[in-house]
């Protein structure tokens, strides 16, 4: 089983940005939510091996590149996902 963590923040346009992260703090996918509409928001982790690391999103609503810092120990765990079966 693999843990999935969630990082979320607000863009300057007030869209809610979310990224689901692996245990290694690498984004699985990102999304943005604003006024009832959800859109994909590409997310990228910088220095994910550090306790304090950054996540950058491209906001689909306003086009801004949003950079936020997170403490790894403060990220909430979302769910357990099964690891792919070995062939």
Read off the pLDDT of residues 23-81 as tens digits, 9 standing for 90 and up: 999 999 999 999 999 999 999 999 999 999 999 999 999 999 999 999 999 998 886 65
> How large is the average pLDDT for residues 11-30?
95
- Structure-token pair, residue 57: 């999103």
Distances (CA, A) of 15 to 47, 51, 78: 25, 26, 20
- Structure-token pair, residue 31: 């999304």
**How do residues 48-63 score in pLDDT, each as one tens digit?**
999 999 999 999 999 9
Ordered by start, the domain boundaries in the chain are 2-78
Looking at per-residue pLDDT, the higher value among 2 and 6 belongs to 6
How far the first Cα of the chain sits from its last, in Å, is 17
φ/ψ region of 51 (left if φ > 0, alpha if ψ in -120 to 50, else beta) reads alpha
- Structure-token pair, residue 81: 């996902």
């Amino acid at each position: 089983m693999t843990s999935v963590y969630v990082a979320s923040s607000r863009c300057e346009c007030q869209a809610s940005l979310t990224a689901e992260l692996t245990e290694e703090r690498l984004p699985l996918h990102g999304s943005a939510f604003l006024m009832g509409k959800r859109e994909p928001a590409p997310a990228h982790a910088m220095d994910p091996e550090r306790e304090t690391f950054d996540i950058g999103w491209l906001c689909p609503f306003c086009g801004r590149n949003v950079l936020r810092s997170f403490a790894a120990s403060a990220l909430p765990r979302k769910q357990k996902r099964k690891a792919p079966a070995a062939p």
